[in-house]
Every structure is written in C-alpha cells, then in structure tokens.
Amino acid sequence: MKYALFLGCTIPARSRNYEMSARAVAHRLGIEFVDIFDFSCCGFPLKSSDMKQAGLLAARNLALAEAQGLPICTLCSACTSMLAEEAHLLARDRALFEEVNRELGKVGLSYSGHVKVKHFARVLMEDVGLDRIREAVTVDLKGLPVATHYGCHYLKPSEIYEGVEDPENPSSLEALVTAVGARSVEYAHKRDCCGGAVLVADEETALKMAKGKLDHVKNAGAKVMNVVCPFCSVMYDDNQKSIENQFEVSYGIPVLFLPQILGLAMGFDRKELGLNMNVVKTKGLTEEITGEK
Amino acid sequence: MPEFQMEKCTSGFSAMVAREPGAEGIRSCYACGTCTAGCPVRRVNPAYNPRKLIRMIHLGMKDEILKGKEIWLCSSCYTCQERCPQGVRITDMIIALRNLAVREGHAPSGVSMQADLIKGQGRLYALDEFDEKKRKKAGLPSLPAEVEGAIELLEKKE
Amino acid sequence: MKSNRKVLIVGAGIAGLTAARELGRRGISSLVVEKGDSLGGRTAAYTCKAVNGRCQKCGACLVQDTLREVREAPEIEISLQTSPVAIQREAGGILARLKKGEQETQARFSALMLCHGFEPFDPGEKSSFRYREIPNLITGIELEQMIRETGNVIRPSDGRPAKDMAFVQCVGSRNPSLGRPYCSQVCCGYALRMARQIRAGSPSTGITFFYMDVQTFGRDFERMFWEFRDAVYWIREIPGDFFTTAEDGVGVVVEDEGEIAELTFDVMVLSVGMGHVPDQHVFAGWLDLRQGPEGFLVSPDRDGVFVAGSASGPMSIPDTVANTRATVSRLMDYLEERP
C-alpha cells in the first residue's frame, strides 16, 4: 500500500495536527506515504476565478504522481474532489485531455490518465480494512460518543467517486470510529455542509451554517466531533469560539480529525497526534480516555 | 428584490452561460425548487436561491447576477446537483457564473486575493521559515516555500 | 357468431378484464392468466373518491363493474396464480407455456394481449426521500389502500388520525435523472381527488400540496381543480430534505410566504408515478417487442401480439379502458384477416 500523500495548501500550514496524526496512523497500519516535493495547490480555490487554470493545477499534480507510478492519497476533502474530478473529466473528454497535455507539455510533463485519487478514510476502508484497524486498537475508548461529520466533498459529486457511497446514506466514517471503540451518535441534519466555502464571501452566513450543525451535535449529546477536512475543521474548531460569542451559545465540543480519534485508540500520545494544536481544548478528552494530561 | 425591467436584460445571456463547461443543461430547469429546498445556505440566508438565480439567467438579468453577491454564497456542497431531477449541474453552473463575473471584473476581494496567491506562489499559503521550523519540530518533511512548477505552468498558459 | 378462436390475455387488472369482456361481447373466447391470487389488479385496492355521494370519476369502481360481467361470461376462462413461462409466435398463432404452482401446460391461441400493467415508483430508489426511515411518510398507493380499508387517514406510527397532512407531487415522474422523464398523468388527479374526499369527510384536516405545476388530464379535472383549489394550501416547491420530527412528524424545510420555515406534518404522502414492471424485458425478449426509452412496451399490433393498458405507458383508469377497447378493435381486425 504505497501512496503519494497529497497535502494541499491548508494542512501543511494550518492543520499540521491532521498531517501528523494521519502519518502516524498510516505507518502503524502499513500504508507507505511518499512525499512529492513539487505538489502544488490542488486548484480548488482557483476554480471560482478560472476553472481551466484550476484544472491545470490539478492535472499537473496528477502527472507528478503518475510519473512516479503512484496513486494519490488526500487528506483534505476539497483536494480529493478537485483531483478526482479532474481525473474523471480527463478520462471522458478527449478534447480536454489533449488540451491539458499540450499545456503540461510546456513544462515538461504529461498525463496519460492512470492515477487513482482516494481520500485517506477511503484508503483505510478499502486498502486496510476494518478488521486490521480493530486489531490495532490498544486503548479502550469506552463508547466515546462521536458526532461524525462527513462534509460535502468527501462524498460529492458522487459520479467522480464511482458510487462507493450514497451521499444521502454514507456509512464509512461511522464504521471507522465504531471499529476503534467509539460510538457514533445520530444527530439531526447530519449531512449539512459546514459552510466553509462561503466564509470568504459572507462570514455571517458561513458561521450560521456551522452553528446549525454544532447545535444539532450538542443536542444529540456528542462529546466530540470528527471531521475529515481542514475546511470543516476551520468552521467547527477554529470558529467555535466566534460562534459561541456571536450567538451567545456555548458548546465546548472538541473537534478531532479522523486519524486523531483512530490514533487515540491505537495508543499514540497527544504530541504524536498534534492534539495541542486543536483549538477547542482536548485535554479534558484525553484525560478521560487515557488519563494523559 | 429590484423590480424586473425588460430593457435592462441582456438577450442571449442564457445561451452564453450554457456555453460554459458544466452549465450546458441549465435550460432543462423546470423550477421545481428541489435544489433550493435542500440548500444549506438558503436555510440560513434566504438571499441565496438557486431556483431564482436560474430563472434570472433565463430572463437575461446578466448585471444583477454577475455584479451581485448571490453567486458567491454557494458553498459548493453539491446537494442541489445530486438531487436535481432534470440533471442540471447547478453547482457547476455557479462556478461558471463566477468565472464570467471574474472575467468582467466582479470578483469579491477575498477571491481575487486567493487567486493571486495561488498563481503567484503555487499555493495558498507560502511556507516561510517559521512554518518550516514548525514542521521540522513536528517531524514533518520539508516543503517548498513556493511551487515553481505550478507558477510556470499557469504563466505559460495563454 | 361464436368462434373457436381463443385469445390469451396476460393480466387480470382493469386492462385484462376489459379486454376479455370486449372480446367476449364480440364472440371471441379468451383465457385470462393472472399471477396473483385475486382479480382486479392494482385498481381493486384503490378507493372510491366520491365526495358527499358525488362521483369524482376516478375510475376505481370500473374494475368491479367489469369483474361482474367477466365472471358471468361463459366464454371467458380465468386462471389465477398462473404465469407464462414462455410465449412465442408459431405457425400463424401463439404458443404459450403456462405454469400454475408445479404444473406446466402448453396451449395454442389465435392471438395474445399483454395487459400486465405497471409498477409504482418505489421512493426507496431516491435516498433523499428517506422513505423507509420515516414512519409517517407513505405513498399515494398506500393512502388509497388506507382510505379504502379504514375510511380515514391515520398515522402508521401510532394509529392516531392525521390532523395535518401533505402531498408531494411528481415523485418518480418528470425525472430524467431516475430514467423517468415522463409525467405519469395520474398523480395530480389521484392526489387532489383523495384530498377532496378527505376534506369532505374531515373538514378540519389541514392539507398542503408541494407541487411544481398541476397537470389537468381528463375532461372534468380542470373544473374540479378550480372548485377545490382554495381548500388546499399550495407551496410551489418540491422539498429536498425529509426528516422525522418530534412525535414522528414528517418534517421539511421550504420557503413559505417568503420565509424559510420548517414545516411538520402528521402524514406526508408521496404521489408516486408509474413505471414499467421489473420483468418487462422478459416479455420483450420472448416476442421481440420494442421497448420505448422509458421501458414501456410498444404494441406491435400485428402478428397476433398486442399490448394494452399501462404496460404500454402511464395512463389513468379511464384511459386504460379506452386504450384497451381500441386495441381490441385492432385485434378483431387481425382475426378477421386470418383464414
């Protein structure tokens, strides 16, 4: 199981905890990550301004992975959708394929169309499997009530993900957290978007969207939220305090990246999982689970 | 909501949008409202209404759309696109409208800033020495401050 | 003039029974095979929609009338729990192998009429409806059966009467993404007629319609619509998310009078459309029949093979009767031409 690890823009700069915990868990489970130094932005934030240029950036990243004969494992859901969508389009649109290769040719690259793009959670489900993950558990999470948040780009647009999961009825994240001894909590409007992409245009709308989810999660009695994308983490973790202040509510719900939860169950410590970098304090959580302060 | 004024409409706007990749199917819309009903943005901000936007496109209300704030409110969650009975790629259409808006010089400042950063350094956040130190301390591999190859690729594109 | 020619009719719903009756009136005998264990097909489960004794012309009773005539006609043979195993054209006629229980028989017929009907859209096919998760979310067909059997609308979750209900139109119709781009032509009709009947029986029941536009098929329907229109609360938006609310209510979020509102109902009815039967391709394969793009059968109207009723496309009960009578007429021409 060898993958080119695609980090995108936000994770190396702002969500190192996601990167650290993912690398730790991957290593424990036998996934080898190869770092391609020249990976750039996936193109997603550029799409709104110029979708052609955005697509080119994505294609360049695909070409770099292809040159090393590697499939791509992504951590950010937006990167996943951007790269997978470009691969999907290039496989279906001959004219686009040729146009993109012309441009790539100008910088000495080419793409013949054989790179698979998978989000880390999907790699865990498909390549590692729930049994191996269960076997790697060394710490009892005692049915920790977790509110899983799928977000949007992890599941949609569904046609680029080959029908692996029904966006209206997904189950992979519940399966993963349950496999390591946590309990997935049902909450209302589970499939709602975090609003991250609206932040740059209208902060209030974005915060209201995030607030909606936090309200439902709190009402359902979850002790922690689980995310698989740094955008979602920004909305629920980084902005939780702003939402609390602006709307005069209170949550205090830690927001963990999936591998941080998995990692806790596998016995990694706070430092290895970057838990000090989460904005909403996680000390109480780890103290309860592992006794680690 | 401003009053609809026929004289201010742009004839051919609907066809113009339909020429953008992804937006080809917009004329199949029969205004059932499924998109808007499931839209998470609309639920907290009624100013964003995809059904209304499509109707405005067909009526040729080019300026209101391209100069307006509404098209920048979409969170690209794809719920509308997944559920549309007519297969209209609504999210792709929003991206197409944004591209048109940018071409005419109407991007929100945050969006142009992001675009400039990506084109200028190949990533959204340039990784400086401070970031490198933090990465090293956390045992993470080194990354380029800027990605030359990406900058070059975009510069060479006509 | 009696004849020793016999027609095989597949399906004892309104189309099959009408065909048998019409052929019988013209002196042609038939064997009607029905895979189920009762006659009348789907319409037998539909409710009369009369309002205060006034007929709304829904056609649900037509099957009972037809059934009476068919039972009394000596030239019509009926075989329940019988299905065709294979049918083919042979030597200027039709050769069919039929199975009833363990027993298989083979017989020759002068002609064949396929009247095997339709399959209602299963909302489980579109997960956003959450049809099987929400207890008080039912289909129009289930509502028909409920009213026929109990005379009331009750919540499946707890048996309490529904005080506030809603209909969602165009479910599984006008939907190319589901492979059902057509209008099923019956849903606005059945929903409105049932709403009218429910309101007549229980004037305080709130009824909301979520719609895109109202299709007025049939001669009287438009007039009836205008008479009834103000008794219903109309919202021109098909909901996107369906969810369970407190006490098993059915919730949706829509724009109502300019405001975004979460509305909750005791019972919500999905007005499901009509589709082709699951084994349509089997019939098509046996007899080399053409299927339209949506899977309905095109009646060849020659070589002794005819398709009538909703097996050929969505249609109302009155339209099914008309379609069947026209098809029988063509079948008669065919029989007349043969030596």
Task: Return the domain boundaries, chain B.
Answer: 6-103, 109-156
pLDDT at A292 over 80: no
Residue of chain A with shortest Cα separation from C133: A169
pTM: predicted TM-score of the whole model, two decimal places = 0.91
Residue A239 — pLDDT band, cuts 50, 70, 90? very high
Per-residue model confidence (pLDDT) at position C2: 40
pLDDT at C1 over 60: no
Q: Is the dihedral of CA C53, C56, C57, C61 positive or negative?
A: negative
pLDDT at B14 over 70: yes
Average pLDDT over residues C32-43: 94
As its CATH architecture, domain A138-290 has: 3-Layer(aba) Sandwich (3.40)
Look over chain A and give the mean of its residue pLDDT values, rounded to a whole number. 96
Per-residue model confidence (pLDDT) at position A7: 97
Per-residue model confidence (pLDDT) at position C222: 85
Closest Cα to residue B21, out of A100, A194, C176?
A: A100
pLDDT at A50 over 50: yes
pLDDT at A125 over 80: yes
Q: Which of C208, C212, C234, C270 to mutate to test the interface with B (most CBs of B within 10 A)?
A: C212
Residue C309 — pLDDT band, cuts 50, 70, 90? very high
* A76 interfaces chain B, CB cutoff of 8 Å: no
What is the number of other CB atoms lying within 10 angstroms of the CB of residue C21? 23
Residue A293 — pLDDT band, cuts 50, 70, 90? low
Q: How many helices (H) and strands (E) does chain B have?
A: 10, 0
Question: Which chains neighbour C (Cβ–Cβ under 8 Å, 3 or more pairs)?
Answer: A, B
- Domains by residue range for chain C, with CATH: 6-117+277-337 (3.50.50.60), 121-273 (3.50.50.60)
Average pLDDT over residues C101-121: 96
Give the domain ranges of chain A: 2-119, 138-290
pLDDT at C45 over 90: no
DSSP state of C82: E
Q: What is the share, in percent, of chain C residues with pLDDT greater than 70?
A: 99
End-to-end CA distance of chain C: 16
Contacts of A169 in chain C (CB under 8 A): 127
CATH number of B6-103: 1.10.1060.10
**Distance from C127 to chain A by nearest Cα, in Å?**
6
Task: Tell me which residue in A168, A188, A189 faces C128 most closely, judged by beta carbons.
Answer: A168
Per-residue model confidence (pLDDT) at position C227: 86
pLDDT at B3 over 80: no
At the topology level of CATH, where does A2-119 sit? Glutathione S-transferase Yfyf (Class Pi); Chain A, domain 2 (1.20.1050)
Lowest mean pLDDT among B128-142, C43-57, C128-142, C315-329: C43-57
* Amino acid letter for position B16: M
pLDDT at C339 over 70: no
Contacts of C128 in chain A (CB under 8 A): 168
Average pLDDT over residues B119-132: 91
Q: What is the pLDDT of residues A192-230, one digit of tens each?
A: 999 999 998 899 999 999 999 999 999 999 999 999 999
Look over chain C and give the mean of its residue pLDDT values, rounded to a whole number. 93
Q: What is the share, in percent, of chain C residues with pLDDT greater than 90?
A: 77
Subunit contact A168:C243, Cβ cutoff 8 A? no
Average pLDDT over residues C266-288: 96
